[in-house]
């Protein structure tokens, strides 16, 4: 076992990742073991002709727990167990799109809170009038990327615009981008000679020192032109490390997309991700409806969804992906 090897904790970053994986697996085994014991209890009650009411109560409880555990078996992707970097970008729709982006950010922050996941706002660009032009957050927890990868894509909002004096119906778009958080040198060759590091004054929250020193960092990967900014942390070193983590994720995404394109060309399949090809629509006027265009799952309880209730949509997408 790696955790018992002498010197294991010398590399604290790697050790913490392995310790977390061990803890997750230990909890998973304990949960399945408890479920097995309850199934055996039901079998015993059947043999002893226990009360029908007690049997039904036990059966429904076990069934619900099994269905929840069954979903865990769907997290089979290489990076599903990792933390995630989630970015939201305002699209077509002007000020309404920026306001919609902030609504999505709030929705995901509440969702993470409900799951018991830790969130850290890494970078944010505020709109001049309202909302956000873009925002990036780091999400830490169990199978975070496995959940959030189903949310990547274009999200469409239809409502009466609060920024229009005539109260006309407005359609707005926002793009959700999701990356796995990679550890140093994992699956990505990143040569720091190819990275330009710029520093600038932070405009984010965090106290007086954040806003008066050049603590914010912008990384530019020269070969690809990929740019990443981070201004959340108090120190330049911390912001640089966070930005490097995001850059590794973006380089991995680019690598996987190139592999997918190559596979599609071999198969003779060409697909384009157009801005208008939304994965989900949120209609607040003239009726209430949230509909996922991939799974066809829909609900009229828009308030619940916008308050973080996106788990049914995630589960539906996971099940669809494993058909």
How do the pLDDT tens digits run along the chain, 323 residues long? 566 667 667 777 677 777 777 877 788 788 888 888 888 888 887 877 767 787 888 888 888 888 778 888 888 888 898 899 999 999 988 899 999 999 999 999 999 999 999 999 998 989 888 999 999 999 999 899 999 999 999 999 999 998 887 778 899 999 999 998 886 556 677 888 999 999 887 765 544 444 556 788 999 999 999 999 998 777 888 899 888 889 988 898 888 888 777 655 544 433 333 455 799 999 999 999 999 999 999 999 999 999 999 999 999 999 998 87
Instruction: State whether residue 281 is helix, strand or coil.
Output: strand
Instruction: State whether residue 226 is helix, strand or coil.
Output: strand
For the CA atoms of 14, 16, 20, 22, what is the dihedral angle to 10 degrees? 70
Q: Where in the chain is the domain with CATH 3.30.70.1660?
A: 84-181+279-321
CA distance 232 to 5: 36
Contact in structure between 148 and 139 (CB atoms under 8 Å): yes
Contact in structure between 86 and 176 (CB atoms under 8 Å): yes
Cβ burial, residue 185 (10 Å; 0-12/13-18/19+): exposed
Per-residue burial over 40-61, b = 16 or more CB atoms within 10 Å of its CB, e = otherwise: eebeebeeeeeeeeeeeebeee
CA distance 154 to 164: 23
Contacts of residue 7, defined as CB under 8 A and 6 or more positions apart, other chains included, come to none
Q: What pLDDT does residue 210 have?
A: 45
Q: Where in the chain is the domain with CATH 3.30.160.20?
A: 192-267
Q: List the Cα angle 148/253/312 in 5-degree steps.
A: 15
Fold observed for domain 84-181+279-321:
Alpha-Beta Plaits (3.30.70)
CATH number 3.30.160.20 given to 192-267:
yes
Q: Output DSSP code: residue 65.
A: H
CA distance 293 to 281: 8
Instruction: State whether residue 201 is helix, strand or coil.
Output: coil
């Amino acid at each position: 076992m790696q955790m018992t090897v002498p010197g294991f904790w010398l590399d604290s970053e790697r050790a913490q990742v392995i310790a977390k994986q061990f803890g997750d697996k230990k909890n998973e085994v304990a949960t399945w073991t408890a479920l097995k014991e309850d199934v055996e209890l039901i079998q015993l009650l059947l043999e002893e002709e226990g009360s029908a009411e007690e049997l039904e109560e036990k059966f429904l409880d076990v069934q619900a727990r099994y269905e929840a555990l069954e979903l865990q078996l769907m997290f089979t992707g290489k990076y599903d167990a990792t933390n995630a970097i989630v970015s939201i970008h305002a699209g077509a729709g002007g000020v309404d799109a920026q306001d919609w982006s902030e609504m999505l950010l709030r929705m995901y922050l509440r969702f993470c809170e409900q799951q018991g996941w830790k969130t850290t706002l890494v970078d944010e660009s505020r709109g001049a009038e309202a909302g956000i032009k873009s925002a990036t957050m780091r999400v830490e927890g169990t199978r975070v990327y496995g959940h959030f990868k189903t949310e990547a894509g274009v999200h469409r909002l239809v409502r009466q615009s609060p920024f229009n004096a005539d109260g006309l119906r407005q359609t707005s778009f926002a793009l959700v981008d999701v990356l796995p958080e990679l550890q140093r040198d994992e699956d990505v060759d990143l040569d720091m000679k190819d990275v330009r590091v710029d520093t600038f004054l932070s405009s984010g929250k965090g106290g007086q020192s954040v806003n008066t020193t050049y603590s914010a960092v912008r990384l530019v990967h020269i070969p690809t032109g990929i740019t990443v900014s981070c201004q959340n942390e108090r120190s330049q070193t911390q912001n640089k490390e966070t930005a490097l983590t995001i850059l590794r994720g973006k380089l991995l995404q680019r690598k996987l997309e190139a592999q997918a394109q190559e596979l599609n060309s071999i198969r003779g399949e060409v697909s384009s991700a157009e801005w208008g090809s939304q994965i989900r629509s949120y209609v607040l006027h003239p009726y209430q409806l949230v509909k996922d265009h991939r799974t066809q799952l829909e609900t009229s309880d828009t308030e619940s969804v916008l308050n973080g209730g996106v788990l049914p949509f995630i589960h539906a997408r996971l099940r669809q992906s494993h058909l």
